[in-house]
A and B are shown apart, each in its own frame.
Chain A
Amino acid sequence: MGRLAVRAPGRALLPLLPFMLIALCGCRLVNELAGAAAGGATAAASANPLVGVAVGVAVNSALDATTDYIVRRRQQAEQDAIAGEVASMAIGDRRPWEIRHDIPIGNEHGEVQVTRVITTPLASCKELLFSVVSGNGEDLKRAWYTTQACHDGQRWKWALAEPAVERWGSLQ
Chain B
Amino acid sequence: MLSGCTSILTESTSAGAGVAAAGISRAVTKDPAVVTGIGLAAQAVARAGLQYTERKVHQSEQDTIAAVAGALPVGGVAKWRIVHDIPIEANEHGDVTVSRTLGGADITCKEIVFSVDDDKERAFYMATICRDGAIWKWATAEPATERWGVLQ
Contact = CB atoms under 8 A, between A and B. Distances in A.
Interface string A48-82: 01101110011011001100100110010000000
User: Interface range on chain A: under 10, 10 to 19, 20 to 34, or 35 or more?
Assistant: 35 or more
Interface string B63-101: 000000000000101000000000000000001110110
Interface residues of B, number: 59
Interface stretch (A5-13, A88-96, A155-163): A155-163
Given A61-B11, A118-B100, A160-B125, 4 more contacts: A43-B32, A58-B11, A64-B7, A122-B115
Contact of A72 (B40, B141, B143, B151): B151
20 contacts: A22-B150, A49-B35, A53-B18, A53-B40, A57-B14, A60-B11, A61-B8, A61-B12, A118-B100, A118-B126, A122-B95, A143-B146, A145-B147, A148-B126, A153-B122, A159-B113, A160-B143, A165-B58, A171-B142, A172-B51
Interface of A: 22-23, 26-27, 43, 49-50, 52-54, 57-58, 60-61, 64-65, 68, 71-72, 75, 118, 120-123, 125, 143, 145, 148, 150-153, 157, 159-169, 171-172
Contacts of A160: 125-126, 140, 143
